[in-house]
Structure 1
Amino acid sequence: MTPRTATAALVTCAALLAATGCSSSFGGDKSTKQDTDAKQHLKVLIATSGDAETKAVKEAAAAYEKQSGNKVSVEAAKDMNQQLAQSFAGHKPPDVFYVNSDQFANYAKGGSLYAYGDTIKDVDDFAEPLRTSFTYDGKLVCLPKDTSTLALAINTDLWKKAGLTEKDYPTSWDELRKVAAKLTGGGVTGLVTSDEYQRLGVFMKQAGGWITDAKQTKMTADSAQNAEGLGFVKSLLRDGSLKYAKQVDTSWGGEALGKGKAAMTIEGNWLTGGMKLDYPDVPYKVVPLPEGPAGKATLAFSNCWGVAAESAHRSAAVDLVKYLSSGERQLKFADAFGVMPSRTSALAQYAKQAPDAKAWVDANAYAQGPVTVAGFDKVLSQFNTELQSLRTTDPKKILAGLQRNGEQSLAKGN
């Protein structure tokens, strides 16, 4: 599942390369001898969002054990990227593991992933944009585990207290500015979100911009559209109607919403599990993000089920992934911890079962996926650092730095 805040996830394989040798291709044997025993022991490493997700994955693994006769051990990582990097460097990786879309290209380029996508008969049932996020050198390397999009979550008690009704749900930037201002005061900020491109990037996209072109071969960061998007965010920051989560002493938007410090937040469907667990008595409503000058836009996030190239159990590992990726199992995961199915057939069923998630489900039709270029995570990490000072910095200056750093990264062939 996508982390509530993505900044920590940018401690990557690439960043650890100099110290550890992240890739299994660094002296690794690509033709690892395969275990042919009838019953095998598979090790699974996950980056969990909490107890609900860990429990659901372990229950699924137990069900697979009964069906297959194989044994499956599930471990929840404390630092997913670091643990994976070290396991690849030591040539003792887990057999199956989560791979975040931000990190996928690093591992694929390094030869750490076994490409099994061509063995999946019903692969077309997985949403095409998600498959693209996990394709490298023209091959689908791993199956998308789930999908998440961003929407606007509203604390309905604070909304009513401000004299607002459902008719006032914002559908444009102008309306968002007005309601955010009206909701701000008395210890409440109209809109609170994270200080990172994984949230603020929606405004760039809504203005008609994005970080790269569609093929991810050319930087487009310093466009007028991107400047307009970040300029809108800056204006809200200066007005005080938008604050970053840490400015209101919270770690993420969901916490700010639950504690009544934010009337609105921009978050993904993982919010469902967080609110249910930590703030079960706080009423909230999820609506589509307001449209920008270029229309509707949001961001999408996903993980895939990676299989290690150096696993001695690749066949059994792929069999486990097929089980975990079934429509039935994806729906159980969705019910357990709020992720949306990556299968289009299961997503349609999920939409019927979870009407409150409609804004997130519908957003899949116009969502922008992450930049998936090897080594680019370092560029995005610096971008996030610069966004922290957006309130007092010219957006064009921040975007010029992103353009420059991105061009250098692409030129190096990362």
Structure 2
Amino acid sequence: MIGSSGDAEATAVKKAVSDWSASSGTKASVVAATDLNQQLAQGFAAKKPADVFYLSTDALAGYASNGSLLPYGDLLQNKADFYPSLVSSFTYQGQLYCAPKDFSTLQLVIRDDDWKAAGLTDKDYPKSWDDLEALAKKLTTGKTVGLSTNGEYARIGAFMVQAGGNLMNDDSTQATANSDANVQALTFVKKLLDEGVYKYAKEGLGEGDGGQALGSGKAAMTIEGNWVTGELKNDFPDVKYTVVPLPSGPAGQGTLQFSNCWGIAKDSPNQAAALKLVEQLTSTDDQLAFSKAFGVLPSIQSAADAWKTDNPTLVPFLDGANYAKGVPTAKGASDVVADFNSQLTNLAKSGPKTILDTVQKNLEALGP
């Protein structure tokens, strides 16, 4: 069972599973869920779950803690090939529960026409927060703002990582939301908002996200994941853009990563075959095929060179794996993040420390 981003993804996964089925002699079919979380929950409740399924980071702890998942990570022949940061995202109470399927990172995306119109060259790409602020000011002209993203942790959190923070520690066992690093990060974001050189895409520009703001010409720069390439190709095919690494913060380079894994049901009567299927779906050949079909990054390090050769203009996204941090995976953390997002909407009028203290309290209330 998969949660598909569209026809391209569903078609690619169905072909990969069909090919494995033909070569292994094991019958297998793919269900593209209309509501993955609901259909997964229904399957577990009925004790008839899919053998293999997409599993998000925020769903892992819930299903792992109630015994729904087979913790098969240590059985994977390619376990050592996965990026360590991805392994951390799918580790619960010291066990790797599932193989990272693929991933995305955030980087800086620049609208080439605005960059050139401002007299800037590739020597001017920002290396620091000060650089980013100066460029955002320079690129803010008329109806165009220098920088735009959605006002949410899944974008602004990159600044937190660059300052040396994040909402929780790497294994999501301790809340770190109101750390000095995170306060510093939100204070910087608030400064840009106050200066009018950074606006939220939805609230400030009336656009769906940073990619839309960039494509429409309302923003010169955005912070987005590699999925933005498909968005710009489909909606703004004439817009030229460049992807560069996010500038370093006080603690160095930092970004957020997003991933799903291939879960295997503990009640599956086909665990051995399921494991072999997952190993095939996370192989170099299959992951590169998925990347070509629907734009994801391969979760195994051995596929990196081939992917970079095929996607030379997008290399910063994959390089981000070396310094990315995952989003919180603690049970209930997604609800806390949703509340944090609502507070970030009012960051320009609020105190960063006040907001983060609330998030800290909410995360601590989740318990172990």
Give the TM-score band, short-chain normalised: over 0.9
**What letter is aligned with 1:135?**
T
The 5-angstrom pairing of residues 261-300 of structure 1 reads 261-300=218-257
Corresponding letter in the other structure for 1:363: G
Moved more, 308-317 or 221-230: 308-317
Contact conserved, 2:9 with 2:290, CA < 8 A, in 1?
Answer: yes
Amino acid at match of 1:153: V
AA in 2 matched with 1:78: T
Equivalence for 2:330: 373
In 1, the alpha carbon distance for the partners of 2:143 and 2:34 equals 34
Contact 1:53/1:336 (8 A) holds in 2: yes
CA distance in 1, matches of 2:179, 2:91: 27
Contact 1:272 1:337 in 2 (8 A): no
1:130 corresponds in structure 2 to 86
Instruction: Name the residue aligned to 2:206.
Output: 249
Structure-2 residue corresponding to 1:346: 303
| Cα distance in structure 1, aligned partners of 2:358 and 2:63 | 26
- Does residue 209 (structure 1) correspond to residue 165 (structure 2)? The answer is yes
1:237-295 Cα deviation digits (max 9, x unpaired): 12222122212222222222222222111111122222223322211100000111221
Name the TM-score, length of structure 2 as normaliser.
Answer: 0.94
State the match for 1:36 in structure 2. none
Is the CA contact 1:379–1:409 (under 8 Å) kept in the aligned structure 2?
A: no
- Measured after TM superposition, the shift of residue 297 of structure 1 is 0.8
Answer whether contact 2:88 2:171 (CA < 8 A) is retained.
no
Asked if 2 retains the 8 angstrom alpha-carbon contact of 1:206 and 1:297, the reply is: yes
Matched residue, 1:110? 66
- Give 1:220 deviation, angstroms: 2.0
Cα distance in structure 2, aligned partners of 1:255 and 1:312: 45
Distance 1:354 1:157, change over 3 A: same
- Secondary structure of the structure 2 residue equivalent to 1:75: coil
Residue 42 of structure 1: aligned partner: none
For residue 314 of structure 2, the aligned residue among 357, 368, 374 is 357
In 2, Cα distance between the equivalents of 1:70 and 1:399?
51
Q: 1:405 and 1:388, CA in 2 relative to 1: closer, same or farther beyond 3 A?
A: same
CA distance in 2, matches of 1:66, 1:214: 40
- Partners of 1:381 and 1:138 lie apart in 2 by 27
Pick from 140, 161, 165: which aligns with 2:117?
161
SS at match of 2:29: strand
Moved over 4 A (4+): none
For residue 52 of structure 1, what is the aligned residue in structure 2? 8
Q: Aligned partners of 2:246 and 2:61: how far apart in 1?
A: 29
- Unaligned runs of 5+ residues in structure 2 are none
SS in 1 for 2:60: helix
Equivalent in the alignment of 1:194: 150
Please give the secondary structure, in 2, of the residue aligned with 1:147. strand
TM-score computed with the length of structure 1 as normaliser:
0.84
AA paired with 1:83? Q
8 Å contact kept, 2:149–2:209: yes
| CA positional deviation for 1:375 | 2.3
Match of 1:26 in 2: none
Distance 1:125 1:214 in 2: 19
CA contact (8 A) 1:170 1:179 kept: yes
Task: Tell me the secondary structure at the aligned position of residue 368 of structure 1.
Answer: strand
CA distance in 2, matches of 1:50, 1:258: 21
Q: Are 1:61 and 2:17 an aligned pair? A: yes
Does the 8 Å CA contact 2:340/2:359 hold for their aligned counterparts?
yes
The 2-side partners of 1:326 and 1:50 are apart by 22
1 CA distance for matches of 2:231 and 2:6?
A: 9
How far the C-alpha of 1:300 sits from its partner, in A, is 1.4
The CA deviation at 1:339 is 1.1
Residues of 1 paired with 2:92 and 2:53: CA distance? 18
1:237 matches 2:189? no
Partner of residue 403, structure 1: 360
Q: 1:173-194: CA deviations, max 9, x gaps?
A: 1111121122223322211112
Query: Is 1:181 aligned with 2:162?
Result: no
Q: 1:377 to 1:173 in 2, by over 3 A?
A: same
- The answer to whether the 8 A contact 1:257-1:265 is kept is yes
Q: Cα distance 1:279–1:85, how it changes in 2: closer, same or farther (>3 A)? A: same
1:72 counterpart letter in structure 2: A
Q: Is the 8 A contact 2:149 2:200 kept in 1?
A: yes
* CA distance in structure 1 between the aligned counterparts of 2:25 and 2:171, rounded to whole angstroms: 43
Contact 2:112/2:242 (CA < 8 Å) preserved in 1? yes
Query: Relative to 1, partners in 2 of residues 1:93 and 1:250: Cα closer, same or farther, differing over 3 Å?
Result: farther
- Which amino acid in 1 is paired with 2:321? N
8 Å contact kept, 1:246–1:252: yes
What is the CA RMSD across the aligned residues, in angstroms?
1.7
Q: What are the within-5 Å matches in structure 2 for residues 212-223 of structure 1?
A: 212-223=168-179
Q: What's the secondary structure of 1:76's corresponding residue?
A: coil
